[in-house]
Amino acid sequence: MLTDRQQAVLDFVRAQHERLGLFPTLREIQAHFGFASPFAATRHLQALEKKGALTRQPGKARAFTLPASRHSSASWSGGGLLSIPVFGVIPAGLPAANAQEIEPDESVAVDAASLGLRRNSRVFGLRVRGDSMIGANILEDDIVFLAPREPTPGQIVAALIDGESTLKRFLHQRGRPFLRAENPRYPDLLPAAELIIQGVMVGLLRRTA
């Protein structure tokens, strides 16, 4: 069992790695805790290592490993994490080359593989408003993930109509595309102009807590 001081050191090591992507040096730990000697930091790290709370590579700078506590970012080694910008209203500029510069309302992190995507895929998220897609089991406040790609009929897409984005199912009839809400209370949309598809749905995240 870690002592309070040891836990504090471990928390600092973990927090530095989360914030900066770097583990701290002995002297950075010394400075943070106000130790007069870097060896005090060494003593704590040695105790943490003995108790299995971290491992060190002898003689190497900043070389820690935090063992799999399965619920922390330090243990994620599956790679391919996506930081996905989420919009409440999709900016008309999406998907554009400079889309990354449009400030999202929030961001969520999900690993690419669980959405069936390659690492570093371009994805954005849309916070669902309303109940127009309830028939497709998409609820208000869900985050729908969309990738910019050409849709095939039957897929759910974000489309730009009259300067606004809408989430609908993409279908064809007699060679002409149209959009269907998955709620009988909403009519089909047959766009007068060419349909601009901003993204095709690749996944969904729901929070129920």
CB 155 within 8 A of CB 200: yes
Catalytic site includes residue 60: no
Looking at the Cβ atoms of 4 and 208, the one nearer to its own copies is: 208
The yes or no reply on residue 78 touching its own copies (CB under 8 A) is: yes
* 47 interface partner picked from its own copies, DNA, none, CB below 5 to 8 A per type: DNA
State both tokens at 171.
Answer: 């279908």
| Distance separating alpha carbons of residues 180 and 160, to the nearest angstrom | 14
Q: Are 202 and 147 in contact (CB under 8 A)?
A: yes
- How far is 48 from 77, CA to CA, in rounded Å? 21
147: contact with its own copies by CB under 8 A:
yes
- The correct pick among 40, 47, 81, 196 for binding its own copies (CB under 8 A) is 81
Contacting its own copies (CB under 8 A), which of 116, 152, 164, 172? 116
Per-residue x/- track, 18-57, DNA (CB under 7 A): -------xxxx----xxxxxxxx-xxxx-x--------x-
Is the Cβ–Cβ distance between 179 and 170 less than 8 Å?
A: yes
Whether 77 is catalytic is: no
| Total residues found in the chain within this entry | 209
- The residues annotated as belonging to the active site are 132, 168
